[in-house]
Chain A
């Protein structure tokens, strides 16, 4: 009996997708890259997204329809955590309003960090821990004109691991190989990767290491019995690995290159999620991740749904293609647009105030008056209802998962934002509560009074002087 495995899965891809031909058009004079090779689109973060905000959104998608108070551990895997010394998983946990006794860990350092976090989580669950949430997200930068610029995408995936009758996939076995094979690297101080020749990586890296790990994980299971193979890497490598491993070519899972690109640490989880969307009961799935070695996992689908939210398909469908190469560079910090003198305003955070109200802000928790039942944000000592105004009657009321309705809005071309116009307004929250809030991922002309919105976790402000930034929630139109 394999009683541990994957309970639920969630995914997130930024709405912004850049057509690769736009990259080629802008950079081919330098790179020699021609439009013919530049197929599909890659996902990229809005100015107010990073790996942490994507992780939160993927986790929310993963946890749809489920209480969160039994989750015992959260691991956040990324090679692009926004903070080098501040618990990134701690911020994710705060945003998800998980229990305060949660164990949190940041997993980083290589491309296997996401699958590695799954290996650790499954061992903890097997040892008797409560459900463990693993989120993987990457927002890798790439030098303009580089091969990575076209190949990479930004994205996140989340898996809830646990035990019991609700598993969507049973964890059959796994195996690991370590090898200090430097196909690429990014030194601690660098912004961009440095990568080596593909043919060498394929022959000495993928083909030398991956089949060994897969074989070790499969043990006595015949490779031909594998219906789905997820390989972290380019599709042509995956085909070669399947062949070398004795797995049918038809089992190779598409790498989503055309849709979003390689989302780094998140990618094997994202691809596994796409398999879980279609795998039938009893089908065997192999996941092989790559990065200074290989981790291979064997899973068996149970036929129960892992996707309660939008999943991989929903994340893929949420994209809007564009050809705004300079916006892409600006969002990634590769060019610094002149935002004017107003953008120089100091944004130092008053940490004592931020800590005092951390749950209000990071988890978007307001108050509910226990005398008049009025929901309000922020929670205050006195009730805002003019007919009540009682002191100290409010209990915390989570608002993040509620929907809302626009009461008023503007599209402000004067305000400082890295994506003009700055859209913001008053939103009435379903079930009570009103908040004056920023909107994001909203095109000019899209807002109207009465339009339904939902809330997403985003970067609120940058403090460029100190390299800090703050998070809060923003409204986005509800789209089908």
Chain B
């Protein structure tokens, strides 16, 4: 059994653009915005970067599916750039590539980038999916809210809960993220909402109302990673290291086997167990101080509290309503507003989550700063509950 990557790689610097409807910005602009912040944070020259991983899901940025957009936007010195895409886990996949390269000793300093320019289509919602061949002949013409809404009916049935109770917990999830986003300067949606507003919102896909759905945003986020030794040599004292990076794609069970009842996300459970093993975490609910999970829809976050081991079976509704995941709760979740309010530029989201954990661990989170957290988790769920890629990362603080 390989030892894994725990503490083999440190984050030297991170950057994140402001998220939102950035009508006046191209993907290049967003990348430069995030990169200049990360470079200043890392305190290195651009040419120290030896390799890059670019996560983009939807947009081709005019140069087809390649590493070129990153190399060209940042005018990198012709170092290798690999484009990765793994649905909504794309940003975390880019980080995994860069971290593994450093952990392998192939390079000293690597760049992980995620960017998405979603608001150039001229219509609301996500861009149109690329047409498939066989799947399109039979799979429903679904939307993301419709696909994730399935969790609502199935979760309620799985635990014998009235939908009204589940809806109230979902409203609390969204209310909490709006509260956090007010204190999050780079977030897309920084307004407060009330629980009643969320409950009374127009239905998008039953049982998901408007406030149960995350924003569609433009944005970019990046990380410059290296070894702890090089980070120390570059003068870093407090340092955030990677404790675990786990990925679990579906193999078809959810889509085609009776063992899945539709009321949980199977791959999140698998990825979480792998990440906890790699990071040496025995009891995540006690050991992890904060988390950024894939709250593409409120029901997803609700269900994930059980899938990631923070709430007991069937207890997520109770725990959420009890404030356990509020900023003042036992395990704050989405302190920056999450996908819900910070925004969800698909390829950037995994790195945006890491950016918030990094910011909180280093005590730089301003008004929303938690009292001295030391271990944080990020989670992505790319795809739909039926068929997806889950990623879980754990980042920890090492005081120098």
A residues lining the B interface (CB < 8 Å): 340-342, 345-350, 353-354, 356-357, 360-361, 374, 376-378, 380, 384-386, 407-417, 421-422, 424-426, 428, 432-438, 444, 447-450, 460-461, 470, 472
Contact = CB atoms under 8 A, between A and B. Distances in A.
A356 B133 CA distance: 11
A413 B140 contact: no
B259 interface: yes
B286 interface: no
B256 A434 contact: yes
A407 B261 contact: yes
B252 A384 contact: yes
A447 B205 CA distance: 13
Nearest to A473: B138
B257 A374 contact: yes
Given A410-B150, A450-B157, A436 B139 contact: yes
Interface stretch (B74-82, B141-149, B167-175, B348-356): B141-149
A408 B256 contact: no
A340 B145 contact: no
Contacts of A432: 258
B125 A410 contact: no
11 contacts: A341-B122, A353-B133, A361-B138, A386-B257, A408-B154, A410-B152, A412-B145, A412-B204, A415-B146, A417-B141, A434-B256
Contacts of B150: 408-410, 425-426
Given A357-B137, A412-B143, 11 more contacts: A348-B131, A350-B132, A350-B134, A407-B262, A410-B147, A410-B206, A412-B149, A415-B143, A416-B141, A444-B206, A461-B136
B72 interface: no
B142 A415 contact: yes
Nearest to A432: B258
A351 B203 CA distance: 37
B23 interface: no
B386 A386 contact: no
Q: Nearest 9 A-B pairs (CB), nearest first?
A: A412-B146, A424-B140, A410-B149, A449-B157, A408-B262, A350-B133, A353-B133, A408-B154, A408-B150
Interface in B170-227: 202-208
Chain B interface size, under 10 / 10 to 19 / 20 to 34 / 35 or more: 35 or more
Interface in B23-69: none
Contacts of A414: 125, 143, 145-146, 204-205
B385 to A, nearest CB: 8
B232 interface: no
B151 interface: yes
Task: Give the interface centre of B132, B152, B153 by most chain A CB atoms within 10 Å.
Answer: B153
Contacts of A448: 153
Contacts of A357: 134, 137
A416 B141 CA distance: 8
A411 B256 contact: no
B206 A411 contact: yes
Nearest to B134: A353
Nearest to A387: B259
A412 B202 CA distance: 12
Contacts of A412: 142-143, 145-146, 149, 204-206
A425 B254 CA distance: 12
B253 interface: yes
A345 B153 contact: no
Contacts of B138: 360-361, 378, 435, 437, 460, 472
Contacts of B122: 341
Contacts of B123: 340-342
B131 A385 contact: no
Contacts of A461: 136, 141
A246 B150 CA distance: 64
A240 B329 CA distance: 85
B109 to A, nearest CB: 41
Interface of B: 122-123, 125, 128, 131-134, 136-143, 145-147, 149-154, 156-157, 202-208, 251-253, 255-263, 386
A449 B154 contact: yes
B119 to A, nearest CB: 14
A412 B145 CA distance: 8
Nearest to A360: B138
A447 B157 CA distance: 13
B252 A460 contact: no
A354 B137 contact: yes
A449 B153 contact: yes
B56 to A, nearest CB: 21
A384 B253 contact: yes
A386 B206 CA distance: 31
A423 to B, nearest CB: 9
A346 to B, nearest CB: 7
A350 B151 CA distance: 31
Contact of A342 (B128, B146, B205, B208): B128
Contacts of B133: 350, 353
A252 B203 CA distance: 52
Contact of B153 (A410, A438, A460): A410
B227 to A, nearest CB: 38
A347 B154 contact: no
B296 to A, nearest CB: 14
A385 B258 CA distance: 9
A426 B259 CA distance: 13
A411 B205 contact: yes
Contacts of A347: 131, 136
A408 B151 contact: yes
Nearest to A361: B137
A428 B262 CA distance: 11
A410 B146 contact: yes
Contact of A384 (B134, B137, B143, B256): B256
A422 B154 contact: no
Contacts of A378: 134, 138
Nearest to A386: B253
Contact of A376 (B134, B140, B143, B256): B256
A464 to B, nearest CB: 14
Contacts of B141: 415-417, 422, 424, 438, 461
Contact of B137 (A346, A415, A424, A460): A460
Contact of B146 (A377, A385, A424): A424
B273 to A, nearest CB: 15
A436 B250 CA distance: 15
Task: Give the interface centre of A374, A377, A424 by most chain B CB atoms within 10 Å.
Answer: A424
Contacts of A425: 150, 153
A366 to B, nearest CB: 9
A194 to B, nearest CB: 37
Nearest to A377: B256
Given A412-B146, A414-B205, A426 B262 contact: yes
Contacts of B256: 376-377, 384, 433-435
Contact of A426 (B125, B143, B156, B386): B386
Nearest to B154: A408
Nearest to B255: A436
B253 A346 contact: no
A386 B263 CA distance: 18
A149 B4 CA distance: 72
Task: Give the interface centre of A354, A416, A436 by most chain B CB atoms within 10 Å.
Answer: A436
A326 B139 CA distance: 29
A450 B252 CA distance: 22
